[in-house]
Chain A
Amino acid sequence: MNSKTWISTIIMLSVVWVSSMSAVQAASDESVTVYSSRKEHLIKPLFQAFTQDTGVKVKYLTGKGGALIERLKLEGVNTPADMFMTVDAGNLWYAGSQDLFQSVKTDTIKNNIPAHLRDPQGLWTGLSVRARTIVYSTDRVKPSELSTYADLALPKWKNRLCLRTSKKIYTKSLTASVIYNQGKDKAGDIISGWVNNLAATPNAKDSHVMNAILAGQCDVGLVNTYYYGRLIEKNPDLALKLFWANQKTTGVHVNISGAGVTKHASNVAGATRLLEWLSSDKAQTIYGSLNKEYPANQNVAADKVVSAWGVFKQDKMNLSQAGILQADAVKLMQIKGYR
């Protein structure tokens, strides 16, 4: 074969290939389509269980929260998505503010999920709770030395603190809660204090923060509880413990993962059914244990590893504040040099 016939054969084949691939995507009308920024391995078991219980199939597409919101906006009425699922209250609030959700208020959801974890207008529903609190080295820190987030800004923690990067949404929401509770000026001082106390460039991941404490680079840090849960489940004897911050004041900063039915959903009934099912006892048990989070449904007991950390006082800040104050939080961190 000479190069000419070679190349034209290849072109022909690829055209056939592309067109056959595109044909596959015609959706069956009975299924529910979900856009999720929760990672695949955390949602797949849930959706499989849902299909087993109800016979309704779930199609999903994972992606980064902000990017999926952009995609939903641009797809508009033509979006294939019936449900949008994401982590962090700030993201949920923003999706709601961009008119991407429709209101769903069913008794099942009202009974399963407490009001402070839901949007007042029923646009989105929290499905799991995670706390962001202090983690410390049991070798070098006594729990009595610890108290609040603001305390970590004091000079006694100079070169002893590890933090996650300010670019991560969980850091932004925590900072938003500090601004909400203490005001902008005080919050700015706290952030400056943190930055001065850093023992290392802020880490990309919570797990890196914990590794750094274990290796002796720093003594205290701030992490989401489930990262600690995953680590401690594998190595129960680590010299690392959680401390519930702000117990005498505003309480531990909590955040949620959650979902809502999209404004232009083509299968509203299916999506609502999925949302109700996700709030049920069965789903909440799976949801919590998959990722060492606290169930949003108060009737469901947390995973064994999680409940061993004891009960704590939660920050009662309305979670939509995390979204409203997010831009301020980022600006403040950028001004104070928190990278």
Chain B
Amino acid sequence: MMGLLALVVAMPIIVVMLSWLLPEHELWTHFSENLLSSLISSTGILLLGVGVGVTLLGTVLAYLVVMVEFPGRKWLEWALFLPFAIPAYVLAFVYLGVFDYSGYAQVWMREVLGLPGFDIRAGSWAIILTFLLVFYPYVYMMTRASFKRQKINMIEAGKLLGAGPFKVFFKISLPLARPAAAAGLLVTLMETLADFGVVSLFNYDTFTTAIYSAWGDFRSIEVAAQLASLLVLVAFFLIYFEKKARGQAKYYSANVSTIRPYHPKGSVAWLITLFVFGVFMLSFAMPMLQLVIWAWGAFADEWSANYIDLLISTSSLTIIAAMITVIIATMLALPGRCKRGSIWLKGMVRLATLGYALPGSVMAVGLLYGINQISVINIYFGGESINHIIYGSILLLLFAYVSRFMAIAYSSIDASAQQIKPVFTQTARLLGASRMRLIWQVYLPMMMPGILAGGLLVAVDVMKELPATYLLRPFGWDTLAIQTFELSAEGLFERAAVPALMMVAFGALIMMVFRYLDKKSSKAS
């Protein structure tokens, strides 16, 4: 039953894998002779740079806010989540506007400092930095939770043995936080692989570029799917390594400590504040300011009653999709499912969580083709086509969201399910609890932090999602992301800032709800 559910979620991915049944040699020859080697190396450099960067930045930030007391820590701890609310392509857009050759920052540098200008999009460093500032919250979020659960006496023991904060970080905290960091890293790398918005603004070629070229330029949906299936393969290995890192996870103490072991003095504390605040400025405050400046003048032109509709459809899609995804992910992650056939279930779940590495539009087309195939089979057996029922209906779009974002919901919820030791199940059974009671009263409440975090991540991602929404939405279901894209694609950046700001505000709202629920649930456990 659960395996079947996972199979349905995995359908678009399976369709993508099946594309190998229709080989196309000529285009492959062209790609492998002229594109592939450089694409693989540029994608590799990007993944490496972003991976190392987010792991360092995310863990260091999390360690600082959890273990060290410094001025402004309390609000910075939450402020560091805010970049989640900004879509990557919007951030990239603002950065280019400010730091490209014609941006204020470089103009100031040339005119006031007399330095030579440079092409910020040459090489890989600028795009790596951009991804770093967009995606560090994933690692930050996961490692922060893990640092909080670390036994304070372990840190105390380290301190007694004469280890300084650096040694404690590298010898005790970091190894303990490794599974959490790996989970955050996995999400980041899959997002980076699937990204199309940022790479096209920087005109940086990755594997996704080839996928779009096969589809858009050579009209070969087959080769596009074949290339995409290679991404799925990469994602598979990434998940494998993440599982390995997590395999050594220790059980955390349930005690959440609020004691901060380190209280640096004066200037050191302020230096830490400066660093953390600097990250917040670059990743959130500065881009927000730019958006506000753009939106200020254009608001009167751009605002209309239409925005009420955009808000309603964006929030409806966000909430419904997040709920469905979380419910399915929870069902798949519940401990002690069936004992036999668990290999088939494991395999299906693995497959169902690979969609995150696929670009949204590839996922969407995989879905359309999959449903078309079901219709073909149905007609063959004397039935009717289901295309007209499914195409252009909201169900299709929700399906795409669920398939695409299953990985983030599942990894977060599964991590919390892993922490339910078998002894809890055994205790409950010995006390006469039925399976239903076990689920509702033991598993779900204990998984709640993971469920909430998964729901938050999916909600924010659905809100920002562009390519699948653009292709699959029914009439009248335009979202803020689509409005932002349409205006900015025509170069109307000032007007595009209006829906972009609304998206950020909406994302911040989701985060506040999450913070409230998170506090409530962590009080109880």
Spell out A's residues near B (CB within 8 Å): 3-4, 10-11, 14, 17-18, 21-22, 24-25, 27, 33, 39-42, 59, 61-64, 66-68, 70-71, 74-76, 78, 80, 94, 165, 167, 172, 199-208, 211-212, 214-217, 227, 230, 326-327, 330-331, 334-335, 339
Contact = CB atoms under 8 A, between A and B. Distances in A.
Contacts of A327: 217-219
B361 to A, nearest CB: 6
Contact of B34 (A67, A172, A212, A334): A334
Interface stretch (B53-61, B199-207, B502-510): B199-207
- Shortest 9 CB-CB contacts between residues of A and residues of B: A215-B102, A78-B388, A211-B102, A330-B217, A207-B491, A201-B121, A217-B101, A200-B119, A39-B486
Given A11-B327, A74-B372, A217-B102, A204 B486 contact: no
A63 B470 contact: yes
A22 B393 contact: yes
B119 A71 contact: no
Interface in B454-483: 467, 470-471, 473-476, 478, 482-483
B259 to A, nearest CB: 31
B203 A203 contact: yes
B486 A41 contact: yes
Interface string B219-232: 10100000000000
Given A14-B320, A71-B368, A25 B219 contact: no
B68 interface: no
B30 interface: yes
Nearest to A42: B490
Given A167-B200, A167-B216, A216-B101, 17 more contacts: A11-B323, A14-B323, A18-B320, A39-B487, A39-B490, A66-B215, A71-B391, A74-B369, A165-B203, A201-B119, A202-B203, A204-B200, A204-B203, A215-B117, A217-B117, A334-B30, A334-B34
A174 to B, nearest CB: 14
A204 B485 CA distance: 13
A74 B394 contact: no
11 contacts: A14-B323, A21-B394, A62-B486, A63-B470, A68-B471, A80-B392, A80-B475, A201-B202, A215-B107, A215-B117, A227-B491
B391 A78 contact: yes
A68 B414 CA distance: 37
Contacts of B201: 204
Nearest to A44: B306
B512 interface: no
Given A80-B392, A167-B213, A172-B217, A205 B491 contact: yes
B19 interface: no
B256 interface: no
Contacts, number: 154
Nearest to B212: A167
Contacts of B102: 208, 211-212, 214-215, 217
Contacts of A25: 392-393, 474-476
A64 B365 CA distance: 13
Contacts of B319: 14
A9 B369 CA distance: 34
Interface hub of B117, B221, B391 (most chain A Cβ within 10 A)? B391
Contact of A70 (B365, B475, B478): B365
B395 interface: yes
Interface in B212-255: 212-213, 215-219, 221
A215 B219 contact: no
Contacts of A11: 323, 327
Nearest to B31: A334
B149 to A, nearest CB: 22
B391 A75 contact: yes
Interface string B40-68: 00000000000000000000000000000
A131 to B, nearest CB: 17
Contact of A4 (B106, B216, B218, B440): B440
Contacts of A63: 470-471
B470 A74 contact: no
Contact of A40 (B203, B445, B471, B486): B486
Nearest to A21: B394
A113 to B, nearest CB: 24
B388 A215 contact: no
A78 B388 CA distance: 6
A339 B385 CA distance: 42
B122 interface: yes
A331 B217 CA distance: 9
A208 B100 contact: yes
B209 interface: yes
A200 B487 CA distance: 25
A204 B196 CA distance: 12
Contact of A215 (B96, B101, B216): B101
A67 B491 contact: no
Contact of B475 (A59, A215, A230): A59
Nearest to B93: A204
B342 interface: no
Interface hub of A78, A94, A172, A208 (most chain B Cβ within 10 A)? A208
B35 interface: yes
Contacts of A41: 486-487, 490, 492
A202 B102 CA distance: 14
B290 interface: no
Given A21-B394, A201-B119, A3 B203 contact: no
Interface in B164-210: 200-203, 205, 209
A3 B323 contact: no
Contacts of B387: 74-76, 78
B378 interface: no
Interface in B317-366: 319-320, 323-324, 327, 361, 364-365
B489 interface: yes
B420 interface: no
A106 B203 CA distance: 44
Interface in B88-117: 96, 100-102, 106-107, 117
A267 to B, nearest CB: 15
A227 B475 CA distance: 29
Nearest to A205: B491
Contacts of B398: 18
B218 A339 contact: no
Nearest to B216: A66
Contacts of A216: 101, 117
Contacts of B486: 39-41, 62
A14 B394 CA distance: 13
Contacts of B107: 215
B490 A64 contact: no
Given A3-B444, A200-B122, A215-B107, A206 B203 contact: no
